[in-house]
Amino acid sequence: MQGMARMLSNNKLRQFARLGQRGAYGQSMLLIAESNEDLFCLSADLGNSSGLDRFSSKYGSRYLNLGIAEQHLVGFSAGLSRIGFNCFISSFAPFITMRCAEQIRMNLSYMQDNVKLVGLGSGVSMGYLGNSHFGLEDIGMIANHNNIPIFCPSDTTQLYCILKFLVELKGPAYVRLTGTADTSELIYDTEIDISLGGSSTLLTGESLLILTHGAITHDCLCAIRGLEETRQSRYHLEDVYCIHPIGSKVRRLLKQFKKILIVEEHRKQGGLYSLVSDLVSDMGISVDLRSLALPNGFLCSGDYSSIKANYGLDIYGIGKALKDAVA
Amino acid sequence: MNESEVKELQDAALSVRKLILDMAYTKKGGHHIGGGLSIVEIMCYLYGRFLNLCPEDVESHGRDRFILSKGHGVLGYFPVLYYYGYISRKVLESYKTPNGVLIAHPVKDTSLGIESSNGSLGQGLSYGAGIAYGLLQRENTARVIVLVGDGECNEGSIWEGIMSATSLGLRNLYLIVDNNSMQSDGTTKAIIDQGNLDERIASFGWDVQVVNGHSYNELERAMNVQTTKPKAIIANTIKGKGISFMEGNNSYHHASLTSNIHTQAMEDLIARYG
């Protein structure tokens, strides 16, 4: 049986927000599984870290922990999808995108098998666990493959909507989860429509186009709201939840604005900045394209907020970049 | 298997080896000849006798699934698909022609009976295990057969698959190792000694049978052992099997054939098996 997953109640919506994206992933799958019998969740021994504990007890026959073996996880899930199962597989962002990169290339990209990769704790949200667990290059890893769309939800409501969309989308995709439970903020208090190549406009303005994705979208929103009221109207804030492929709406915006700032919790190389750079070059347009991103090299550890602050990706740092960009 | 059944498979193997030599000669450039020739009996046994598959309904729900994890073994695969009626002469002849349907590795096309794209070693077992698990979930009695090379077993991902298969109780999964004792750069013994490959796999809880991979009766016995465990068949084979001067000669791991060598090889093959 396939059907539309149910709408989030107000209570659920707020409960998901408290859990943060990782916990909300598993809870979302629990709801979506009610109306999708073929939905199958797999993990490489990080089921609990994916919030899948309740899913695995309720839908034991549709959950597998394949052990700490990401290469096997990807190949196995691709095979399982061939029998009609709708596979979602999760592990920390570097492990699900790099340890098994060639399995992704053969099975998901080349054969286009119906498996969704879910990267947990991407960006610097793993805090003190450090560089081994940070997702600094995962967007670049996946964007380098042919035909694997990349979704980066900015909050837990959008995450739920993206997952509902992906259950219906045949073929592979990567979902990049960022943020932590204790810093989780709600941007959307109602469900939104999701599309391939889609984005959501959060603020409109004429001087600077800000393209962002993931949990720091909320920091961008706060940074703009923290500016003097007369300045606020200069900024257009676009939540690019599908960063690959980039859709027609963002393409239109790129033509409208002369100055663009890309704010992302990822290295500049391989991230949205790189994807947009390639695109504006292909489009033959000349824009002042700026980046506020994580620097190259390996990064310091700390709690999530302090790492973001260290690299200018907190509200203060983003606010400063916004002012610098629009004198 | 009675004598005439064996003879039928032997005839198939002879035809397949002739096709292999012709393909390797007519299509210029190098070909993985040795590892194609070593699997001929295994492939003829599978397609001629074992697999529940038919060319008229190649994508049937209940079909057995075969995966050539050692994807470079296509010379032992495409001619077998042709011989048993899965692909046309035209498709076979497209092998290694510009934009042809068939290239030097399998590319998934279930309408041609090719279940998966391979070429990157070490990936077929996990893929097959996922299919096998899905079939069990659906209460589908079809079986999954994955053919790997012994050199391919250097890949860690093969062992991830071996460990997992018993935990998941994949009684419908068959792993055949083409144990031709050579890999690209030399003997498997000199590179990673897996002399006790059977014990290693058995230690993970598989049923393991060691057979002469060129003997139909031994393959038949091993493939039909009644057990609820995942089944591994270590098929001891000879790389380059069938052509005297190619047997155990690793210079034919990947090689091209001149007109002279092609003629010599064909004469040798016919003299021995014709």
- How are beta strands A259-267 and A173-176 bridged, if at all? unpaired
pLDDT (tens digit, 9 = 90+) per residue, B112-153?
Answer: 999 999 999 999 999 999 999 999 999 999 999 999 999 999
Q: Which stretches does DSSP call E strand in B227-272? A: 231-236
- How are beta strands A200-203 and A150-151 bridged, if at all? unpaired
Between B259 and A47, whose confidence is greater?
B259
* Residue in B117, B140, B164 closest to A110 by CB: B117
Q: Is A89 helix (H, G, I), strand (E, B) or coil?
A: strand
Phi-psi region of B268 (alpha: psi -120 to 50; beta: other; left: phi over 0): alpha
Task: Work out the mean pLDDT of chain B and round it to a whole number.
Answer: 97
* Residue in B126, B134, B167 closest to A82 by CB: B134
Per-residue pLDDT of chain A (327 residues; tens, 9 = 90+): 455 778 899 999 999 999 999 999 999 999 999 999 999 999 999 988 889 999 999 999 999 999 999 999 999 999 999 999 999 999 999 999 999 999 999 999 999 999 999 999 999 999 999 999 999 999 999 999 999 999 999 999 999 999 999 999 999 999 999 999 999 999 999 999 999 999 999 999 999 999 999 999 999 999 999 999 989 999 999 999 999 999 999 999 999 999 999 999 999 999 999 999 999 999 999 999 999 999 999 999 999 999 999 999 999 999 999 999 997
**pTM: predicted TM-score of the whole model, two decimal places:** 0.97
pLDDT score, position A6: 80
Using an 8 Å CB-CB cutoff, list residues of chain A that contact chain B: 61, 64, 66-67, 69, 71-72, 74-85, 102-103, 105-107, 110-111
B172 has a pLDDT exceeding 70? yes
User: Taking a C-beta distance cutoff of 8 angstroms, is the pair B46, B10 a contact?
Assistant: no
pLDDT score, position A3: 59
pLDDT (tens digit, 9 = 90+) per residue, B71-85?
Answer: 999 999 999 999 999
| Dist CA B274 CA B271 (whole Å) | 6
Asked if A111 and B160 come within 8 Å (Cβ–Cβ), the reply is: no
Quick one: how far is CA A216 from the chain centroid? 11
- Compare all CA atoms of chain A with the CA of B129 and give the residue at the minimum distance: A76
AA identity, residue B205: G
| Dist CA A186 CA A166 (whole Å) | 21
Could you tell me which residues come within 8 angstroms of residue A130 by beta carbon, excluding any fewer than 6 positions away?
A301
pLDDT score, position A1: 44
| Dist CA A180 CA A127 (whole Å) | 9
Asked if B137 and A61 come within 8 Å (Cβ–Cβ), the reply is: yes
pLDDT score, position A5: 77
Print burial letters for A171-188: b (CB count within 10 Å at least 16), e (below 16).
Answer: bbbbbbbbbbbebbbbbb
Could you tell me which residues come within 8 angstroms of residue B136 by beta carbon, excluding any fewer than 6 positions away?
B169, B170, B171, B172
- Compare all CA atoms of chain A with the CA of B60 and give the residue at the minimum distance: A83
Q: Round the CA-based radius of gyration of chain A to a whole number and report it.
A: 19
Question: B180: exposed, middle or buried (C-beta count within 10 Å: 0-12, 13-18, 19+)?
Answer: buried
- Compare all CA atoms of chain B with the CA of A100 and give the residue at the minimum distance: B157
Asked if A111 and B137 come within 8 Å (Cβ–Cβ), the reply is: no
